Amino acid sequence: TTESDPGPAAGGPAPAPAFLGDTMRRYLAALLTAATVLTASCAQALPSDTTTPDGAALRLPLDDYQHSPTQALTVTNAYRVLLIRCARRHGRTLPITSSPRPLVGPRTWMERRYGLTDAADAASYGYGLGPRDPARHPPETPDLDPATIAVITGTGDKAPPGGCQEQTRKALAMAPAGADPSLPQHLSMLSFQRSRTDHRVQTAVKEWSACMRAAGHSYANPFDPIADPAFRDGTSEKELATARTDLACKKRTNLVGVWLSVESAYQRRMIAQNATALQEAKRANQTILRLAQAALDAEMRAPASTSGGSPAN
């Protein structure tokens, strides 16, 4: 098996995560960025198997180097806990809770990477995510007074250097000098964009689209039905029927198998080209996760009177 030049990238920006609402995001733009950071073409034959793998079971080579969504949530929850503690040490009480937030969105990075792939979810929720639907978990939108903002951002005379956001970031970012924990995420986004423009994937997508069209559904790619405004609550029979047809067409065309094989080849090439940096990123992410879990464990052991948050005076 030999790998050829995967060609030019068609990269795009990563979606910005939501956290504590517009007011908090205005003053703490780096908050979730910090928490998240703490968090090729191939000549081989494509698989002939026409089964559609369970989306929750799919894996790509770069998954071994980055936090899973569940692990990223652990880091985010720890960030919240440490931020609340820091603000309290400086006389401010953040109007957010230290209680762990639930997992919202896909359970793995692969679950919706190639469109709908989970048969059980499709049968119950169509294109929705059921209990993990972000619409069911609105972000907190606290109003922060100037004194609290100063402590968090480090802009006040009595604020800690860099503010609590910087102190919290450092508490979870004990990585080796020069290590970039976000490198696996960056390469993963790049491999997705490259694989999406690969002629083999485009051929499989066209075959899937033709299969859907034969069943009365006009979608150019497997992401279109997910974004279809006709599907909102995940319970209509039309949506459930479309989701079943979608999965049947993926099985018939082997779209998921083709895409997974192609993108895996791109990622293996990237890993070979960035071996040292990725190993450093992996170790850094392991350290970040360990520190985050330790922070959450300490919060669980803390007396009830010292945990949580309430509106600042």
pLDDT digits (tens, 9 = 90+) for 107-118: 899 999 999 999
What is residue 263's predicted lDDT score, i.e. its pLDDT? 98
Q: Which of 148-152, 197-201, 296-300 has the highest mean pLDDT?
A: 197-201
In this prediction, residues 39-55 reach a mean pLDDT of 42
In this prediction, residues 299-310 reach a mean pLDDT of 61
In this prediction, residues 305-310 reach a mean pLDDT of 47
Q: How confident is the model at residue 135 (pLDDT cuts 50, 70, 90)?
A: confident
Q: Is the pLDDT of residue 87 over 50?
A: yes
User: Are 115 and 209 spatial neighbours (Cβ–Cβ below 8 Å)?
Assistant: no
Helix H, strand E, coil C: the string for the chain is: CCECCCCCCCCCCCCCCCCCCHHHHHHCCCHHHHHHHHCCCECCCCCCCCCCCCHHHCCCHHHHHCCCHHHHHHHHHHHHHHHHHHHHHCCCCCCCCCCCCCCCCCCCCCCCECECCCHHHHHHHCCCCHHHCHHHCCCCCCCCCHHHHHHHHCCCCCCCCCHHHHHHHHHCCCCCCCCCCCHHHHHHHHHHHHHHCCHHHHHHHHHHHHHHHHCCCCCCCCCCCCCCCCCCCCCCHHHHHHHHHHHHHHHHHCHHHHHHHHHHHHHHHHHHHCHHHHHHHHHHHHHHHHHHHHHHHHHHHCCHHHCCCCCCC
What is residue 44's predicted lDDT score, i.e. its pLDDT? 33
Q: Which residue has the higher pLDDT, 201 or 308?
A: 201
What is residue 32's predicted lDDT score, i.e. its pLDDT? 32
Q: Is the pLDDT of residue 251 over 90?
A: yes
Query: Phi and psi for 13 in degrees, rounded to 5?
Result: -70, 145
Q: Which of 86-95, 162-171, 189-198 has the highest mean pLDDT?
A: 189-198
Lowest mean pLDDT among 86-90, 185-189, 215-219, 305-309: 305-309
User: Are 40 and 171 spatial neighbours (Cβ–Cβ below 8 Å)?
Assistant: no
Q: How confident is the model at residue 234 (pLDDT cuts 50, 70, 90)?
A: low
Q: Which residue has the higher pLDDT, 12 or 203?
A: 203
What is residue 43's predicted lDDT score, i.e. its pLDDT? 30
- Amino acid letter, residue 97: T
What is residue 238's predicted lDDT score, i.e. its pLDDT? 94
